Structures are given as C-alpha cells and as structure tokens.
C-alpha cells in the first residue's frame, strides 16, 4: 500500500484544466512553475476584433520543442481561436511570469503559458508554433511548442484537458 502511495505522487497531473463551461473570451490564469493553476481563470475581455496583424514581429522561435497529444480538435473552432489569439498578441501586452493566457472558442482553446519570465506573444510566433504542430501532430492534432529561452509555450487544446 505504501509503495503505491509513493509511486502515485510523481504521477500527479501537472498543469491545469480550462473548464468546458466557460464562454468564449480571453482569460488569464495564475500558475506556478509546474503550470498548476493558483486560481480560477479570470475573464479579462471578449474575443478581440480581428485586427490587421502588426508588421513588426519577432524572429523565428529559438530551439522550439514541439509535443503532441494523441487526440483531435474541431478545426473550425480552432481557426477562430487562433485568429483571435493572434489579434490579441499583436496588441503587444506583456504578461507577468507565472501567467497563462487562454483564448476560448467553442470546444477549443489557444493558449500561452509564461513560466519564469514575463513575455508577450506575437502572431508570427503563434503562427510558427501552429505550423509546427500541424506538421508534427497533424492538422487537427493537439500539441504545444515550448521555448526554453523565453520560458514560454504556445499550444492548442480542447477545453477540459490539462494544459501548461
């Protein structure tokens, strides 16, 4: 029995779950170093209007690491989420360390996880991450791209599944 308890601890799920009952919109979530939520998702705005993306963008992601989950998302929802996420990113807001930003659309979410760094997101990086996930996980596949140099990740997921 004790052995089971000892073995169970490291298997604890890391990250947090964005609940399925949250309406479309932009949320922030306080997280710890392991991506565990420190509070409930906070609705910060409605989905941004589709904006002309900024011409000033970031360089290609340095040493991006792409990972996949063996499940699929609804591509029509995801396309709206990605577009809204990109419009949000190009507003240029900086998010503090230990923050996740989640754009919720239908059954899907587009997200940024900031671990030990304050970061903004860029549509160029978000699009690069999306293309990497398409290539590695499939066009309806789920995955994320972690960039250690920035201590941040971009991902796409279904609601009700652990992220960050």
Ligand X SMILES: *[C@@H]1O[C@H](CO)[C@@H](O)[C@H](O)[C@H]1NC(C)=O
Minimum CB separation of residue 14 from ligand X in Å reads 11
Of the two residues 32 and 40, which places its CB atom closer to ligand X in the complex? Answer: 32
Half-sphere exposure of 90 (CA within 13 A, CB side): 20
| Distance (Å, whole) CA 86 – CA 48 | 9
Does 100 interact with ligand X (rule: CB under 6 A)? no
Does 32 interact with ligand X (rule: CB under 6 A)? yes
Phi, psi (degrees; rounded to nearest 5) at 32: -100, -175
Cβ–Cβ contacts within 10 Å for residue 131, how many?
A: 12
Does 30 interact with ligand X (rule: CB under 6 A)? no
Q: Residue 89, Cα to own-chain centre: how many angstroms?
A: 12
Does 97 interact with ligand X (rule: CB under 6 A)? yes
Per CB under 6 A, the list member of 19, 20, 33, 75 interacting with ligand X is 33
Of the two residues 87 and 119, which places its CB atom closer to ligand X in the complex? Answer: 119
């Amino acid at each position: 029995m004790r052995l089971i308890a000892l073995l169970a601890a490291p298997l604890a799920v890391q990250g947090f779950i964005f609940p399925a009952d949250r309406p479309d919109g932009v949320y922030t979530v306080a997280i710890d170093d392991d991506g565990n939520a420190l509070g409930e998702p906070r609705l910060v705005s409605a989905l941004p209007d589709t904006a002309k993306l900024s011409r000033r963008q970031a360089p290609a992601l340095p040493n991006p690491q792409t990972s996949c989950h063996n499940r699929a998302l609804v591509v029509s929802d995801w396309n709206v989420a990605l577009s809204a996420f990109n419009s949000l990113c190009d507003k240029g807001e900086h998010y503090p360390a230990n923050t996740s930003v989640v754009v919720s659309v239908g059954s899907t979410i587009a997200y940024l996880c900031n671990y030990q760094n304050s970061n903004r997101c860029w549509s160029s990086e978000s699009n690069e991450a999306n293309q990497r996930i398409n290539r590695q996980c499939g066009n309806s596949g789920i995955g994320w791209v972690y960039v250690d140099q920035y201590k941040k990740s971009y991902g796409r997921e279904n609601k009700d599944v652990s992220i960050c």
